[in-house]
Chain A
Amino acid sequence: MRLNRRRFLGTAAASAALLSSPIALGQKRPRVVIIGGGAGGATAARYLAKDSDGAIEVILIEPSRTYYTCFFSNLAIGGFQPMSKLAHSYGTLASDYGVTVVHDWASAVDREKKVVRLAGGDTISYDRLVLSPGIDFVKGAIEGWDVTAQTKMPHAYKAGTQTQLLKAQVEAMPEGGTFAMVAPPNPYRCPPGPYERISMVAHVLKQRNPTAKILILDPKEKFSKQGLFMEGWENHYAGMVDWLTDEFTGGVQRVDPNTMEIVLEDETIKADVVNVIPAMQAGSIAQQAGLTNEAGWCPIVPATLQSRMDENIHVLGDATQNGDMPKSGYSANSQAKAAAMAIRHALTGSRAFKPRFSNTCWSLISPDNGVKVGASYVATDEKIAKVDGFISQNNEDDALRKQTYEESLGWYAGMTADMFG
């Protein structure tokens, strides 16, 4: 940990300057501006600041002062983690690493002028821009649902109030009621996430409301860790969870947040809680900046995470179309380090090494019953390509599952320390 009084004062001064006047162009130190303070953006900020040792000015733009991690938010729904444990601030990045943190919305990127416009009116110029905007939902993906409906039919796919709302709704379900999830099509953030959530909801209902039912309406024919989840549901929540694919239902035609109905091809289902997770695309700032392809994602150069549309912009995490890496916090963190190294090399001439990527996703199925899936990756010319992988096995003994869960808690602590310092 580098707590340095001189640097701390320097940061405070920089923040004050930023607030009082537009930032002058032509500054001496090269400047990297980062949009988005999640697993990709916060990690990139920390590594750029730490490893360049002050040679690069790092500015992080993130609207939230308190950031709730999406990873582990299902555990909050299940009652295994308090919401407060998911909350993080940017104080250490500012005080210990000299990152200038600007709490505002980035409303536009002017790629010609290399300037980011903030909703508050300021503009910030950059030498390199790192874009880690996460996901947004595709408008009109599910008829009858838009973000104004999220208070009735929450997505809970951005953590915070949405997570708390869904948790409260599950806990308030009438006896023997129905929880329905409209699951997303590929590709989407956190592939095992919807199914871990089902496990957590089932755990809560098993304690409080054991005659309740859970329906998953899924456009996919298969899903991440399917065998492990199915086994877990059978063993721990027998008869409670029904997974229905479009082949069976004809697909979700529309939803009605006022009547809490889901209209299928030949049938209408009324549920007490409807968790709608719509189709996703790269966060809207990426769309605005013209960095997305027809599928709505940002194609990147695998080794450096540079946008295929603009070499001065690096895109991280969920927003990328990278090849084989899943959209996860771990992936974004892994990509951020490769990008930070490439940016330092480009701006300061520091040593560049061959990038390497990895990912592991842990999921909790029932108390002390954790599973994981992971892989390692390399950058080829075309894509980030998988080289090796593993997955937990069916019928593992209790001690291993417990250890895997404890390991996931350790990972959470390690990952958030790696992001926020």
Chain B
Amino acid sequence: MRALIPALVLAFGFLSGATSVASAQDIARGERLFNACLRCHDVGKDAKNRIGPHLNGVFDRKAATIEGATYSKAMKRAGADGLRWTIDTLNIYIQNPKNLVSGTRMNYRGMRKEKDRSDLLAYLRQFSVSPANIPEASASLLQQDAPSLHEETYLDGDAEYGEYLSGECTSCHQSSGADKGIPSITGWPQPDFVIALRAYKKGHRPHPVMQMIAKRLSEEEIAALAAYFKELH
């Protein structure tokens, strides 16, 4: 399989003709970066599920659909909601897995440098059936959206305002923290809470009710909710 890589890179370069196409060096660098993933993820010929699922053909795959792989409840939920692995969603996920799946089993702090993610994905795309058909990550997602999920403006939320706003959450989410059918949102670290709502607001996460609710929450209101729910156990 690895022997095929140069040929595929050439084909891809020819087809896309874009200046943003990954070079062979980028891909080689991506392969080295993948060493950080190897303990849990296998890729290439005869790749097997390890702690996490194998990554052959990950592009355009619905989340949590590899038979025999172990997924968190949260990842299964995201998959059923419609989370599909594309260059954009993978980019956001690798940047910080909690961007897309708060309760993910993937215990990884995230790859913060855009260039690193770009190279890693250039490497991984070689293991999909038709890498040439995978579009490049959109510049806005690589450079702006994903990192902005992490702006640290969540620290001084108005918890009393959050308590009022929480009424819109507790029509569905239980203040007791019960987690059946609808996830628990109590006692979360503030950054996780903020990141999750921002991701719904931007449409990175697929759930229509949450997108609708988050869309009209301001940064101040998200911070207020995070401050309130953090203290609710």
Interface residues of A (CB under 8 A from B): 1, 47, 51, 330, 333-334, 337, 341, 351, 353, 356, 358, 360, 372, 374-376, 387-390, 399-400, 402-403, 406-411, 413-415, 417-418
CA distance in complex: A375, B164 (Å): 19
B181 near A415: Cβ-Cβ < 8 Å = no
Q: Taking the nearest CB of chain B, how far is it from the CB of A385, in angstroms?
A: 13
In the complex, which of the residues A374, A407, A414 contacts B174, with contact meaning CB atoms closer than 8 Å?
A414
* Between-chain CB contacts (< 8 Å), 14 pairs: A51-B163, A351-B161, A353-B165, A360-B172, A388-B216, A390-B208, A390-B212, A407-B182, A410-B172, A410-B180, A410-B181, A415-B171, A417-B176, A418-B170
CA distance in complex: A358, B208 (Å): 13
* Chain B, residue nearest A47 (CB): B167
Give the dominant DSSP class at B's interface. helix
Q: Taking the nearest CB of chain A, how far is it from the CB of B35, in angstroms?
A: 34
User: For A417, what are the chain B residues with a Cβ–Cβ distance below 8 Å?
Assistant: 170, 174-176, 178
* Chain B, residue nearest A338 (CB): B167
B172 near A411: Cβ-Cβ < 8 Å = yes
User: For B161, what are the chain A residues with a Cβ–Cβ distance below 8 Å?
Assistant: 351, 353
A334 near B171: Cβ-Cβ < 8 Å = yes
B209 near A360: Cβ-Cβ < 8 Å = yes
A337 near B173: Cβ-Cβ < 8 Å = no
A414 near B213: Cβ-Cβ < 8 Å = no
User: For A411, what are the chain B residues with a Cβ–Cβ distance below 8 Å?
Assistant: 171-172, 181-182
A408 near B181: Cβ-Cβ < 8 Å = yes
B79 CB–A CB distance under 8 Å: yes
B105 CB–A CB distance under 8 Å: no
In the complex, which of the residues B163, B181, B209 contacts A390, with contact meaning CB atoms closer than 8 Å?
B209
A400 near B170: Cβ-Cβ < 8 Å = no
Instruction: Indicate whether A413 sits within 8 Å of B81 (C-beta atoms), given known contacts A333-B171, A356-B168, A388-B215.
Output: no
B33 CB–A CB distance under 8 Å: no
B135 CB–A CB distance under 8 Å: no
A388 near B212: Cβ-Cβ < 8 Å = yes
Tier of interface size on chain B: 20 to 34
Q: Taking the nearest CB of chain A, how far is it from the CB of B186, in angstroms?
A: 12
Scoring A330, A390, A410, A417 by chain B CB atoms within 10 A of each residue's CB, the highest score goes to A410
User: For A387, what are the chain B residues with a Cβ–Cβ distance below 8 Å?
Assistant: 216
Q: Taking the nearest CB of chain B, how far is it from the CB of A386, in angstroms?
A: 11
CA distance in complex: A376, B210 (Å): 11
In the complex, which of the residues A330, A353, A372, A413 contacts B178, with contact meaning CB atoms closer than 8 Å?
A413
In the complex, which of the residues A341, A358, A389, A408 contacts B171, with contact meaning CB atoms closer than 8 Å?
A358
* Chain B, residue nearest A404 (CB): B80
* Chain A, residue nearest B216 (CB): A376
Give the dominant DSSP class at A's interface. helix
B79 near A1: Cβ-Cβ < 8 Å = no
B209 near A374: Cβ-Cβ < 8 Å = yes
Q: Taking the nearest CB of chain A, how far is it from the CB of B18, in angstroms?
A: 33
B103 CB–A CB distance under 8 Å: no
Q: Taking the nearest CB of chain A, how far is it from the CB of B120, in angstroms?
A: 28
CA distance in complex: A282, B215 (Å): 33
B77 CB–A CB distance under 8 Å: yes
A389 near B80: Cβ-Cβ < 8 Å = no
User: For A353, what are the chain B residues with a Cβ–Cβ distance below 8 Å?
Assistant: 161, 164-165
User: For B79, what are the chain A residues with a Cβ–Cβ distance below 8 Å?
Assistant: 399
Scoring B79, B173, B211, B212 by chain A CB atoms within 10 A of each residue's CB, the highest score goes to B212
User: For B82, what are the chain A residues with a Cβ–Cβ distance below 8 Å?
Assistant: 400
User: For A376, what are the chain B residues with a Cβ–Cβ distance below 8 Å?
Assistant: 212-213, 215-216
A400 near B181: Cβ-Cβ < 8 Å = no
* Chain A, residue nearest B77 (CB): A403
B168 near A413: Cβ-Cβ < 8 Å = no
Q: Taking the nearest CB of chain A, how far is it from the CB of B216, in angstroms?
A: 6
B219 CB–A CB distance under 8 Å: no
CA distance in complex: A403, B211 (Å): 17
A351 near B160: Cβ-Cβ < 8 Å = yes
B209 near A414: Cβ-Cβ < 8 Å = no
B216 near A374: Cβ-Cβ < 8 Å = no
Q: Taking the nearest CB of chain A, how far is it from the CB of B76, in angstroms?
A: 9
CA distance in complex: A388, B167 (Å): 19
CA distance in complex: A409, B181 (Å): 6
B80 near A402: Cβ-Cβ < 8 Å = yes
User: For B212, what are the chain A residues with a Cβ–Cβ distance below 8 Å?
Assistant: 358, 374-376, 388-390
B171 near A418: Cβ-Cβ < 8 Å = yes
CA distance in complex: A409, B172 (Å): 10
User: For A400, what are the chain B residues with a Cβ–Cβ distance below 8 Å?
Assistant: 80-82
* Chain A, residue nearest B183 (CB): A410
* Chain A, residue nearest B78 (CB): A403
User: For B182, what are the chain A residues with a Cβ–Cβ distance below 8 Å?
Assistant: 407, 410-411, 413-414
Interface residues of B in 169-209 (CB under 8 A from A): 170-176, 178, 180-182, 208-209
User: For B178, what are the chain A residues with a Cβ–Cβ distance below 8 Å?
Assistant: 413-414, 417
* Chain A, residue nearest B175 (CB): A417
B172 near A414: Cβ-Cβ < 8 Å = yes
* Chain A, residue nearest B180 (CB): A410
User: For A388, what are the chain B residues with a Cβ–Cβ distance below 8 Å?
Assistant: 212, 215-216
Instruction: Indicate whether A341 sits within 8 Å of B168 (C-beta atoms), given known contacts A388-B212, A390-B208, A417-B176.
Output: no
Instruction: Indicate whether A1 sits within 8 Å of B181 (C-beta atoms), given known contacts A330-B171, A372-B209, A390-B208.
Output: no
User: For B208, what are the chain A residues with a Cβ–Cβ distance below 8 Å?
Assistant: 372, 374, 390
Q: Taking the nearest CB of chain B, how far is it from the CB of A54, in angstroms?
A: 16
CA distance in complex: A411, B210 (Å): 13
Q: Taking the nearest CB of chain A, how far is it from the CB of B30, in angstroms?
A: 31
A334 near B168: Cβ-Cβ < 8 Å = yes
B81 near A414: Cβ-Cβ < 8 Å = no
User: For A390, what are the chain B residues with a Cβ–Cβ distance below 8 Å?
Assistant: 208-209, 211-212
User: For B174, what are the chain A residues with a Cβ–Cβ distance below 8 Å?
Assistant: 413-414, 417-418
Scoring A351, A406, A410, A414 by chain B CB atoms within 10 A of each residue's CB, the highest score goes to A414
User: For B160, what are the chain A residues with a Cβ–Cβ distance below 8 Å?
Assistant: 351
* Chain A, residue nearest B82 (CB): A400
Q: Taking the nearest CB of chain B, how far is it from the CB of A145, in angstroms?
A: 35
